[in-house]
A and B are shown apart, each in its own frame.
Chain A
Amino acid sequence: MPHGPDPLRPPLEVALRHRFPDGGGNAGFALDAAFTAPAGRVTALFGPSGCGKSTVLAAVAGLLRPDAGRILLGATVLLDSAARRVLPPEKRRCGVVFQDARLFPHLSVEGNLRYGQRRAPREAEGEEPSFGEVVALLGIEPLLGRRPAALSGGERQRVALGRALLARPRLLLLDEPMAALDAGRKAELLPFLARLRQRLRIPLLYVTHALEEVDHLADRMVLMQAGRVLAEDTPEALSLRTDLPLLALRRDAGAVLACTVLEHLPDRGLSRLSFAGGTLLVSLLAAAPGSALRLRMRARDVSIATQRPAGLSVQNILPAEIEAIESPRPAEIMLRLKVGDTRILSRITRDAIVRLALVPGMPVWALVKSVAFSATTPEAGGPASE
């Protein structure tokens, strides 16, 4: 987990209003969004395509001028339309990683990496990793002499990330950096982003419409729809909100749990994890014991029993208490269960409620198969106690 908030590292504060010209792809709504992104944390701007999240990022970078707004990085004013102050993008020192990488085709990988580094003010505050450090962090040493045209999609994004980092940014903006990559390339890039997240001391704004990227990387999640911020909290807290259809109606809706790897049981093909509600047995993971990771326990994978069942293949049988019975969709029930110190969700039918006579406050057993957990790469390589 990342270190605590540092008072010397300023957060990013954003408040924007923008009306799109008619006929554009985003016509039909106006952007009206405000949120804060703390330093040293990954803040995910999450929402469906066309919800305005990329527009927000472009406005923070200065590449789009919103109708009105205030964007502050601590005491530095990036934009204040009321005071008629606009810092041009080249002075904002926002590292931007675009969906399409945008590497300079006429420069080598090293030339690309050095481009921002040469233009970064030496004495200024900001991230200050050395060239060698960034190259090692992103594993791009063998690529240095190549041209961008000779790189794979994932390699391009790593170089783009390195280029942004070497410009000593005060803020890092990632605009759907994995959207253009296939599953294999995504899996290749994720560990690098996770490693970066660990050593970052500036705010990182990560725009995405992929929930698994949020699960892996985000410390905070800003949920956007049709130009507005619906909610802003940790992914764990937002995953339990049943009043947000954007999340609760998804097939993969369910509690996001912060876990620590306790031990691997290779002969059984299992790993044992601890979480705030007890321990879980999941399919064998690659993460080292002691490392922290997040698991999404999908609500549709959680079954309910009123008595402790026996003779079941299910490995995880958790004592729980029904906290609330909610109905995000008529035929469907979402149970909010209290398990130890945490909450999980279970999606069952209305019929099951009637048959089992479930009521709030009732003690039950929550059943989850080990294989139900989608295999997750470790979100951070280091020990949880850091």
Chain B
Amino acid sequence: MEGGALGLSPEEWQAVRLSLAVALRSVAFGLPPAVLAAWLLARGRFPGRALLDALVHLPLVMPPVVVGWLLLVTFGVRGPVGALLNDWFGLRLVFTTAGASLATAVMSFPLIVRAVRLSLDAVDPGLEAAARSLGAGPLDRFLTVTLPLALPGILSGAVTAFAAGLGEFGAVITFASNIPGETQTLPLAIYAATQTPGGEATAARLAGFSLVLAVAGLLLAEMLGRRMRVLLGQGPR
């Protein structure tokens, strides 16, 4: 096989680019609802809080294939949500890049929620009380005090989810299938290569690349977190 940039072939690069795009989208769309869920779980006192907590953590404990299957049932063209999306917006999620992103987002959702919730819990409620006495309403307080102070945790949670999203396999292959250029992300390409005679070299190159990406992601999360804490006046200067 002809070596392209960094020794990867154009097909292999396609899998890498697709993985990055899917992981990025999954974080971009997953982050706002995750922050909301984390805030509800950290500060909310409402009936059904335990249920929400369980629901959020479900993807963490369920086999990814089951998550993919549930998505297929729900968002498939005949599924209750999928049919509506298809009829109203002409939007089809199964077997598409968007579908792969959705599956990845669902799988990494608990990761982000946990990270955000930990950092929300670490915000001193006394500071929120101070903001309150200075005339800040609930949303105002959240946006000007709670969120900025929780930002390091939120950012490192997002980067971790991004790194984990690069490797999502079971849910993606079940819901979005393994279509090169559409839904064939890094792990799916590695899987496909191992199933192909003579694909060992491709598998090894892609696996090595995955490893580098994962380590880079973790280092970036750590660095961002530290930089943010200094910026927020919490860490060592």
Q: Which chain A residues have a beta carbon within 8 Å of chain B's beta carbons?
A: 61-63, 88-96, 98, 100, 102, 104-106, 115-116, 119-120, 147-149, 163-164, 167
Contacts and interface: CB of A to CB of B under 8 A. Distances in A.
A116 B136 CA distance: 8
Interface of B: 124, 126-127, 129-137, 140, 144-145, 148-149, 231-234, 237
A104 B128 CA distance: 9
Contacts of B148: 106
Given A90-B137, A98-B126, A147-B233, A106 B149 contact: yes
Contacts of A63: 129, 132-133
A147 B237 CA distance: 11
Contacts, number: 67
B233 A89 contact: no
Contact of A89 (B124, B133, B232, B237): B133
A92 to B, nearest CB: 8
Most A-side CB within 10 Å, residue of B133, B148, B149, B231:
B133
B128 to A, nearest CB: 9
Contact of A163 (B126, B134, B149, B232): B134
Contacts of B127: 102, 104-105
Nearest to A121: B135
A144 B187 CA distance: 53
A121 to B, nearest CB: 8
A300 B127 CA distance: 44
Contact of A149 (B129, B137, B233): B233
Contacts of B137: 90
15 contacts: A61-B133, A63-B132, A90-B132, A90-B137, A104-B127, A104-B131, A104-B145, A105-B234, A115-B131, A115-B134, A115-B144, A116-B134, A148-B233, A149-B237, A164-B134
A228 to B, nearest CB: 26
B150 to A, nearest CB: 10
Contacts of B144: 115
A63 B127 CA distance: 12
Contacts of B129: 63, 89, 102
A106 B233 contact: yes
Contacts of A93: 135
Interface of B is mostly: helix
Contact of B134 (A88, A100, A167): A167
Given A102-B126, A105-B232, A106-B233, A119 B133 contact: no
Contact of B130 (A62, A91, A102, A106): A102
Contacts of A92: 133
A149 B235 CA distance: 9
B136 A90 contact: yes
A163 B133 CA distance: 11
Nearest to B231: A106
A90 B135 contact: yes
A176 B24 CA distance: 50
B233 A95 contact: no
B126 A100 contact: yes
A94 B129 CA distance: 12
B140 to A, nearest CB: 8
A163 B134 CA distance: 8
B228 to A, nearest CB: 10
A98 B130 CA distance: 8
Contacts of A90: 132-137
A253 to B, nearest CB: 35
Contacts of A147: 233
Contacts of B134: 90, 115-116, 119, 163-164, 167
Contact of B133 (A95, A104, A105, A106): A95
A62 B129 CA distance: 10
Contact of A106 (B135, B136, B140, B232): B232
B149 A96 contact: no
A243 to B, nearest CB: 37
A116 B135 contact: yes
Nearest to B141: A90
Given A96-B130, A104-B145, 12 more contacts: A61-B133, A63-B129, A63-B133, A90-B134, A90-B136, A102-B126, A102-B127, A102-B130, A104-B127, A106-B149, A116-B134, A167-B134
A105 B135 contact: no
A63 B125 CA distance: 11
B227 to A, nearest CB: 13
Nearest to B124: A102
B218 to A, nearest CB: 25
Contacts of A116: 134-135
Task: Please provide the 9 A-B residue pairs with the shortest distance between their CB atoms, ordered closest to farther.
Answer: A119-B135, A116-B134, A102-B130, A147-B233, A106-B232, A105-B233, A96-B133, A149-B233, A89-B132
Contacts of A89: 129, 132-133
Contact of A94 (B126, B131, B133, B234): B133
Contacts of B136: 90, 115, 119
